[in-house]
């Protein structure tokens, strides 16, 4: 199908790791992105990965990319209450920014 898919909800305990999964559709997408949306705010770019990479680490964030299965994941280590937000994955289906497709978002709840 045409949609980028994500689970809608995830709950974890503070201090645990969170893994948010995403399945995208276009194998030719050059960049894949993770955005974070806190309550009442816009989306902020969290991290991105180029399609010729299979992993990218940035402090507590690890992005894994499986191109064969078109699967993208975001791991947040030592999850904190401030990580509670909606996380969107997105794929850029062309190089001109015209065909940027977002998933429905995963609402991460961090329990104390």
Q: Which two tokens stand for residue 30?
A: 């050059």
Closest to other proteins by CB, 35 or 110 = 35
107 burial (CB, 10 Å; 0-12 / 13-18 / 19+) is: middle
Closest to other proteins by CB, 42 or 112 = 42
Residue 29 CB, shortest distance to other proteins, in Å, is: 12
Residues 30-59 that bind other proteins (CB under 8 A): 31, 33, 35, 40-45, 48
Closest to other proteins by CB, 97 or 112 = 97
Reduced 3-state DSSP string for 19-81: EEEEECCCCCCCEEEEEEECCCCCEEEEEEEECCCCEEEECCEEEEEECCCCEEEEEECCCCH
Residues 86-105 that bind other proteins (CB under 8 A): 88, 90, 92, 95-98, 100, 102-105
| Contact footprint for other proteins (CB under 8 A) | 8, 31, 33, 35, 40-45, 48, 88, 90, 92, 95-98, 100, 102-105
């Amino acid at each position: 199908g045409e949609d980028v898919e994500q689970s809608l909800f995830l709950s974890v305990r503070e201090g645990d790791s969170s893994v948010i999964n995403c399945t995208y559709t276009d194998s030719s997408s050059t960049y894949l992105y993770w955005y974070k949306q806190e309550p009442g705010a816009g989306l902020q770019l969290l991290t991105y990965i180029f399609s010729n990479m299979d992993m990218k680490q940035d402090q507590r964030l690890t992005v894994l990319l499986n191109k064969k299965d078109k699967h993208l994941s975001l791991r947040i280590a030592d999850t904190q209450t401030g990580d509670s937000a909606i996380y969107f994955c997105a794929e850029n289906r062309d190089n001109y920014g015209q065909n940027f497709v977002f998933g429905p978002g995963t609402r991460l709840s961090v329990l104390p």
